[in-house]
Amino acid sequence: MEERMTSERTVAGFGRSLKTEEMVLSMGPQHPSTHGVLRLELVVDGEIVVDVIPHLGYLHRCFEKHCEHMTSYQQVIPYADRMDYVAAMSNEFGYVVAMEKLLKIKVPERVEYIRVIMAEFSRIVSHLIAVGTYGMDIGAVTPFLFCMRDRERVLDIFEQTCGARLLYNYMWIGGLSHDVQPNFAEKVRSFCTYFRPKLKELNDLLSYNKIFIDRTANVGVLPADVALNYAVSGPTLRGSGVRWDVRKNDPYSIYPTLDFEIPVGTGAMGTVGDCWDRYMVRVKEMEQSVNILEQAIEKLPPGDVQAALPKRIRPDAGDLYVRTETPKGELGYYLVSDGTASPFRVKVKSPCFVNLSALPAMARGSMIADVVAILGSIDIVLGEVDR
Amino acid sequence: MKEVLLGALHNDILAYVLMALVPLAWVVPFALFAVWWERKISAHMQDRLGPMRTGGWHGWAQTVADILKLIQKEDIIPAAADRKLFILAPYLVFAGSYAAYAAIPFSAAFVGSELNIGLFYIVSISALVVVGLLMAGWASNNKWSLFGAMRSAAQIISYEIPVALCLLAAVMVTGTFDMQQINQMQEGGIFHWLVFQKFPFLFLAMIMYFIGSLAEVNRTPFDIPEAESELVAGYHTEYGGMRFALLFLSEYANMFVVAAIASTLFLGGWTSPFGDFLSGPWWGVFWFLSKGMLIVFVQMWLRWTLPRLRVDQLMEVGWKVLIPFSFVVVLGVGFWVMAVR
């Protein structure tokens, strides 16, 4: 500890040594840029960050322990929503896919298509927040408002379908809570035509802005091998050039039948794996999500959305791990069942938690302003980090 | 106006002091208006409405309501803060911005104080703001405020150089520091304005002055000192209530000062763009204020469009880009003026 706290420098030409001290700065837990209650302990030498130590747990709500005391597996779903509260549908999707595999049941096709549509909407919604708040961290406030405006259109669709804007309790084990409204297809299509020009507007305003590029290119470079060693996933991993997406590499639901691309970072503006790459991967993923939406809504079959399941589900004793691709990365549910109606263990592998662990590796040696940029490019939601 | 006061008061010093205080009648209402204006401009640029209710028509009384609220707030001075410096700092910042108004001519008939070194005085007195900011950051006893204050000091003094050089280019053409005379030289319509003289040098000087002035007043893209997303609120983190209001209002006062200098030196100040049409002492006030507000509008426009530069990039732009270009401009104007003579 002592060696880290002070460092001796010799002032050239004077022959004396000028003792400098490293300052310990606490960024958070209340801070406009830490995307929630996160405390980053920065050890800085002037403006250069020597080390970053994230302190977590400010939003820990005992989700996993709570699950063990629930009287049925269905009760977990509203709580799962609240982990990554920005993209709640994705959390539910992961859980119900895991549960249906545990129960070995198959859901109707209509349910699969609607779930994928909702998951892709949730991806767009989460990336809009990521991109908007990222611009705001860098200093451009206006794109945030534009992203919020576009997000409201999606939230309107969610509200019409299940009554809630942000936390839905929509995807149930074996089906959905409500069928979609009769004008659902029309609303989805009109959103797709509305949204594509907005992406172009975002690119014109923010993505290719010289100041934005200067702030994000070559900053926080995460090399591909380091990323893989840290088990980083999602756009953070794809920004480093690794083409890995659970929807393609370990597919679930109807993703194998849909045609979409996986954008990866190419170092177009700087180095592969810098903040700009991660940001751009998210922007391109929004575009790909719109493609998926258009395909899925064309193929949406008619049918029933609620399966006949008993009130108290009793899966066979056993355990499994199922992963899905949320906007933040690979969300994994490890479910252990002991044969009763109450879950024995619901362990969540949170992508934000794992991605955040790579922050020190990315941020050492950069400046304080860069720490904000790097943290924003990882796109964390503290609800998921802490659960 | 000076004659009126001298005649009425029979006391020189009092008359001069009152003359210098008259711009206050513009500065304070302008600061209140500018806050509202910024909120409306930013709102409309962001596809929303901004204040709509306070006072009825488009929330015009919003700033008044905010000031009334801030006045009522408890005056909290952090226990470990340096009390005297903490209290003094906002007044220094305000004094630094306001003192510059004394030498700016609002019209052919009114200038707060006739100084034959007017421009020189303005540039030097505005530097008082840096002292105030450093005091505010240091006295707050808060690492974040200190960071903001240090960055601010570095930024402002770095950008004083290209600003002063560009003003120097204009002075080389006019041959005088006296702001009123500079204005009078630009009478006769838009093509007599200094920005179109010695083309393209003074045009470049205006653009570089404008960019440098953004750094002087801590506006995006140079708003590192108050970078909200990084340093909470930089040097004014610990300031609340009326002290914060004073710092906030002096920022807008400062914005108008640099806009006024730009419009006086480059855009003709109180002269009418049409020459004799629509000119006169009262029309002069109108033209001067409009040009100043136009530049303030561009400053606000830029704030809500551009991201902010990191502090080292900001210093790089100042030292490695603006200063060489301003030297080129000064040399160019210098040779031109010598050649013509």
User: Do the Cβ atoms of A215 and B48 come within 8 Å?
Assistant: no
> Could you say which of A142, A146, A214 has the minimum Cβ distance to residue B313?
A214
Is B9 within a domain? no
Residues of B in contact with A34 (CB under 8 A): none
Give me the pLDDT at residue B209, please: 93
The pLDDT tens digits for B165-177 are: 999 999 998 888 9
Give the best residue of A206, A211, A276 to mutate against chain B (max B CB count within 10 A): A211
Q: If pLDDT is split at 50, 70 and 90, which confidence band does B108 have?
A: confident
User: Do the Cβ atoms of A139 and B306 come within 8 Å?
Assistant: yes
Average pLDDT taken over every residue of chain B: 85
CB atoms within 10 A of CB B114: 16
Give me the pLDDT at residue A368, please: 80
User: Do the Cβ atoms of A33 and B143 come within 8 Å?
Assistant: no
User: Do the Cβ atoms of A33 and B221 come within 8 Å?
Assistant: no
Q: Which of residues 302-331 of B touch A (CB under 8 A)?
A: 304-313
With an 8 Å Cβ cutoff, is A138 touching chain B? yes
Domains and CATH numbers, chain A: 63-386 (1.10.645.10)
Summarize the confidence of residues B49-73 as an average pLDDT: 87
Per the structure, the count of domains in chain B is 1
- Do B133 and B86 form a contact (C-beta atoms < 8 A)? no
User: Do the Cβ atoms of B309 and A368 come within 8 Å?
Assistant: no
Range of the domain at B85: 73-340
Residue type present at position A3: E
Summarize the confidence of residues A276-284 as an average pLDDT: 94
Distance in angstroms (rounded) separating the CA atoms of residues A116 and B91? 60
Residues of B in contact with A32 (CB under 8 A): 228-229, 232
- Do B47 and A143 form a contact (C-beta atoms < 8 A)? no
The pLDDT tens digits for A124-164 are: 999 999 999 998 888 888 999 999 999 999 999 999 999 99
Region of poorest pLDDT, from A111-120, A275-284, B191-200: B191-200
Summarize the confidence of residues A368-384 as an average pLDDT: 88
Residues of B in contact with A365 (CB under 8 A): none
Interface size between A and B, measured as CB pairs under 8 A:
75
Residues of A in contact with B310 (CB under 8 A): 214-215, 367, 369-370
Q: If pLDDT is split at 50, 70 and 90, which confidence band does A186 have?
A: very high
With an 8 Å Cβ cutoff, is A211 touching chain B? yes
Give me the pLDDT at residue B295, please: 94
Summarize the confidence of residues A178-201 as an average pLDDT: 92
Cα of A220 to nearest chain B Cα, Å: 14
Is B131 within a domain? yes
Q: If pLDDT is split at 50, 70 and 90, which confidence band does B235 have?
A: low
Give me the pLDDT at residue A367, please: 85
Residues of A in contact with B230 (CB under 8 A): 33, 137, 368-369, 372
Q: If pLDDT is split at 50, 70 and 90, which confidence band does A336 have?
A: very high
Rounded to 10 degrees, the C-alpha dihedral A232/A236/A242/A248 comes to 90
Taking 80 as the threshold, does the pLDDT of residue B6 lie above it?
Answer: no
The pLDDT tens digits for A46-79 are: 778 899 999 998 899 999 999 999 888 989 999 9
Taking 80 as the threshold, does the pLDDT of residue B341 lie above it?
Answer: no
Cβ contacts of A108 within 8 Å, gap of 6 or more: A175, A303, A304, A305, A307
Taking 50 as the threshold, does the pLDDT of residue B78 lie above it?
Answer: yes
Is B35 within a domain? no
Q: What's the whole-model pTM score?
A: 0.87
Region of poorest pLDDT, from A188-197, B5-14, B106-115, B230-239: B230-239
Taking 80 as the threshold, does the pLDDT of residue A18 lie above it?
Answer: no
Distance in angstroms (rounded) separating the CA atoms of residues B308 and B289? 28
Q: Which of A57, A189, A170, A156 is nearest to A111 (CA)?
A: A170
Taking 50 as the threshold, does the pLDDT of residue B229 lie above it?
Answer: no
- Do B136 and B149 form a contact (C-beta atoms < 8 A)? yes
User: Do the Cβ atoms of A367 and B310 come within 8 Å?
Assistant: yes
Cα of B305 to nearest chain A Cα, Å: 6
Q: Which of residues 345-384 of A touch B (CB under 8 A)?
A: 367-370, 372
Give the best residue of B230, B232, B314, B315 to mutate against chain A (max A CB count within 10 A): B230
Cβ contacts of A317 within 8 Å, gap of 6 or more: A337, A338, A339
Give the best residue of A33, A40, A153, A213 to mutate against chain B (max B CB count within 10 A): A33
Give the C-alpha distances (Å, rounded to integers) separating A354 from A41, A231, A232, A323, A385.
18, 7, 6, 14, 8
Region of poorest pLDDT, from A120-129, B185-194, B281-290: B185-194
Distance in angstroms (rounded) separating the CA atoms of residues B39 and B50? 6
User: Do the Cβ atoms of A209 and B306 come within 8 Å?
Assistant: yes
Q: If pLDDT is split at 50, 70 and 90, which confidence band does B226 have?
A: low
Taking 70 as the threshold, does the pLDDT of residue B3 lie above it?
Answer: no
Is B322 within a domain? yes
Give me the pLDDT at residue A4, please: 40
With an 8 Å Cβ cutoff, is A22 touching chain B? no
Give me the pLDDT at residue A305, please: 84
Q: If pLDDT is split at 50, 70 and 90, which confidence band does B2 have?
A: low
Q: If pLDDT is split at 50, 70 and 90, which confidence band does A1 have?
A: very low
- Nearest chain B residue to A46 by CA distance is B147
Distance in angstroms (rounded) separating the CA atoms of residues A123 and A100? 22
> Could you say which of A23, A31, A215 has the minimum Cβ distance to residue B310?
A215
Q: Which of residues 32-51 of B touch A (CB under 8 A)?
A: 42, 45-48
What percentage of chain B carries pLDDT values higher than 90?
23
Give me the pLDDT at residue B58, please: 87
Is B191 within a domain? yes
Give me the pLDDT at residue B138, please: 85
Cα of A143 to nearest chain B Cα, Å: 8
Give the best residue of A47, A201, A210, A366 to mutate against chain B (max B CB count within 10 A): A47
Is B129 within a domain? yes
Q: Which of B224, B197, B229 is nearest to B340 (CA)?
A: B197
Give me the pLDDT at residue B112, please: 77
User: Do the Cβ atoms of A206 and B304 come within 8 Å?
Assistant: no
Give me the pLDDT at residue B309, please: 86
Taking 90 as the threshold, does the pLDDT of residue A267 lie above it?
Answer: no
Distance in angstroms (rounded) separating the CA atoms of residues A380 and B7? 70
Summarize the confidence of residues B17-39 as an average pLDDT: 87
B237 vs A116, residue with greater confidence: A116
Q: Which of residues 214-233 of B touch A (CB under 8 A)?
A: 220-221, 223-224, 227-230, 232
Summarize the confidence of residues B16-28 as an average pLDDT: 82
Give me the pLDDT at residue B227, please: 60
ipTM field: 0.83
Give the best residue of B38, B310, B311, B320 to mutate against chain A (max A CB count within 10 A): B310
Is B184 within a domain? yes
Q: Which of residues 145-204 of A touch B (CB under 8 A)?
A: 145-146, 149
Give me the pLDDT at residue A9, please: 43
Region of poorest pLDDT, from A24-33, A337-346, B95-104, B263-272: A24-33
A17 vs A209, residue with greater confidence: A209
Q: Which of A63, A117, A256, A92 is nearest to A174 (CA)?
A: A92
Give me the pLDDT at residue B189, please: 79
Distance in angstroms (rounded) separating the CA atoms of residues A77 and B223? 44
A248: buried, middle or exposed (CB in 10 Å: 19+, 13-18, 0-12)?
middle
Give the best residue of B306, B316, B320 to mutate against chain A (max A CB count within 10 A): B306
Q: If pLDDT is split at 50, 70 and 90, which confidence band does B9 have?
A: low
Average pLDDT taken over every residue of chain A: 88
User: Do the Cβ atoms of B223 and A139 come within 8 Å?
Assistant: yes
User: Do the Cβ atoms of A139 and B220 come within 8 Å?
Assistant: yes
User: Do the Cβ atoms of B46 and A145 come within 8 Å?
Assistant: yes
Give me the pLDDT at residue A298, please: 92
Distance in angstroms (rounded) separating the CA atoms of residues A48 and A366? 6
Cβ contacts of B313 within 8 Å, gap of 6 or more: A214, A215
Taking 70 as the threshold, does the pLDDT of residue A191 lie above it?
Answer: yes
Element housing A349 (H / E)? strand A345-349
Is B64 within a domain? no
